[in-house]
Structure 1
Amino acid sequence: MRYAICFTPPASDPLSLVAANWLGRNVFSGEMVEPPAVRGLGIHEIAFHTAVPRRYGFHGVLKAPFHLSPDMSEAQLLRDLMRFSGTVPPFRLPRLEIARLGNFYSLQPSAPCEQIQYLASAIVQEFDRFRAPLSEAEIERCDPDGLSAAQFANLHRWGNPYVMEEFRFHMPVTGPVNAVDMPRIEPALRTIFGPVIGELVMVGNVALMIEEGAGGPFRVHSLHPMGKVSARRIA
């Protein structure tokens, strides 16, 4: 079993509902969802291109999946995540946009966001004590020979190459897409997500996600509201 600390909008948020339809699974309930009808794309094609993010559910990772250290408990993790979340004020992301990162597509902020960078870095540092050390097999899966010096150092210090200055917040909506399919996938994503990414997204909670069995799907275990109670009411 693994845990991850992420951001995802509340279950009732329009963005969450659209993402669940596109990915074919609700990250809160774990229930499978019928994919939308998209001109030029068959249901099986959508299922194929969303297979990877469907397993992880709609989210933006803040601390990548980790095994719990043997001397830590889930209760301790929950307690400390609740305490930590109350110390960070809510904020809004810059407008999200469909963006290609390598050969897969994500929703990404259209401008740099210092608050999400700070939040991710703080969580990586604050909760590193909960993370069990990586096994040799896990390190090899990160392809250490293909990493930059900074990414290699991050891998061995924090268990993930893409943290701190190397972090880039994104919410994946496809797995790898080959160049032949990109001209059909990208317009479909703009059609599906266009109506719900015009509004600024409030980052008002931190989600603890849990993997259902080894290699199983992830789901939201709990949402932890950010900021003091009085600040949440104002927001």
Structure 2
Amino acid sequence: MSYSRFAIYYVPPNGPLADFGASWLGWDVLRGCEALQPDMPDLDDITMTPRKYGFHATLKPPFRLAQGQDVQTLEAATSTLAVSLAPARCDGLELTALGGFLALTPRGDMQGLRRVGGTCVRALDRFRAPASAAEFARRRKAGLNPQQEALLAQWGYPYVMEEFRFHMTLTARLPQDAIAIWSAAVQRHLPELPSPFALDQIALCGERADGRFEVIHRYKLTG
């Protein structure tokens, strides 16, 4: 399989949460195949944007391989990174309206999650090709603050390091009057959420020719 971009994600292990995410979004990032969604009006539309990425939390955002790098070396570096990284824990996950879209976000101390995310960004940055002018322009349309602008310049993405917020996206941006309705719909389908929540593995994922991401390999954090 040939991939145009790569990313480091947290992808839930096989089980009720992973099954929920695949079904809700209509894409199984673990298996690289479509999943049957619940029969709900407009669900296909509001999940179209996050569907291509699958149910995940971004740790190192999608990037193209730098010149001179290859997938095998990236896989080896990700494996080495996982061996050195200690797992992170927080009190649990909860459903949140985050900037107009719905996502599962952590409860409690998030320092450990931020540590894992920041380490993934730094340790694997040599594999990232520089962002294009078009990518910079697209990111700046969001109206970045000075810190986000500096992070974009250094790491190619504005929401890393101090601006990182662990989240597992479930919808596109929703109209304000639809948030409560879709929150209730998500709650009806959610399995019991982990409490506490452990980020104890990372996944190297690739963007396929059809624009959707799939897991290439998962690595346990054993540091």
Superposition TM-score, scaled by structure 2 size? 0.94
The Cα offsets for residues 191-211 of structure 1, whole Å up to 9 and x where unpaired, read as: 111x32153333221100100
CA deviation after TM superposition for structure 1 residue 101, in Å: 1.0
Quote the Cα distance in structure 1 between the aligned partners of 2:24 and 2:73: 35
Quote the Cα distance in structure 2 between the aligned partners of 1:93 and 1:189: 22
Q: Do the aligned residues in 2 keep the contact of 1:104 with 1:176 (CA within 8 Å)? A: yes
CA deviation after TM superposition for structure 1 residue 133, in Å: 0.4
The Cα offsets for residues 139-168 of structure 1, whole Å up to 9 and x where unpaired, read as: 111026711100000001010001111111
Selected match of 1:185 from 165, 182, 188: 182
Superposition TM-score, scaled by structure 1 size? 0.89
Per the alignment, residue 232 of structure 1 pairs with: none
Q: How many aligned residue pairs are there?
A: 220
Residue identity matched to 1:104 = F
**Which structure 2 residues correspond to residues 130-169 of structure 1 after superposition, within 5 A?**
130-143=127-140, 146-169=143-166
CA deviation after TM superposition for structure 1 residue 85, in Å: 0.2
Selected match of 2:38 from 6, 27, 36: 36
Q: Do the aligned residues in 2 keep the contact of 1:97 with 1:109 (CA within 8 Å)? A: yes
- Is the counterpart of residue 223 in structure 1 residue 189 in structure 2? no
Q: Do the aligned residues in 1 keep the contact of 2:90 with 2:109 (CA within 8 Å)? A: no
The worse-fitting range, judged by mean Cα deviation, of 196-205 and 159-168 is 196-205
Q: Do the aligned residues in 1 keep the contact of 2:66 with 2:127 (CA within 8 Å)? A: yes
**Which structure 2 residues correspond to residues 1-235 of structure 1 after superposition, within 5 A?**
1-10=4-13, 12-37=14-39, 41-42=40-41, 45-143=42-140, 146-193=143-190, 195-213=191-209, 216-227=211-222
Between the aligned residues of both structures, percent identity stands at 34
Q: Do the aligned residues in 2 keep the contact of 1:94 with 1:113 (CA within 8 Å)? A: no
CA RMSD of aligned residues (A): 1.5
Q: Secondary structure at the match of 1:78?
A: helix
- By percentage of residues, which structure has more strand? 2
Q: Secondary structure at the match of 1:142?
A: helix
Residue identity matched to 1:53 = P
Residue identity matched to 1:73 = D
Q: Secondary structure at the match of 2:34?
A: coil
CA deviation after TM superposition for structure 1 residue 183, in Å: 2.5
The worse-fitting range, judged by mean Cα deviation, of 161-170 and 23-32 is 23-32
Q: Secondary structure at the match of 1:107?
A: strand
Residue identity matched to 1:31 = C
Give unpaired runs (5+ residues) of structure 2.
none
Q: Secondary structure at the match of 1:9?
A: coil
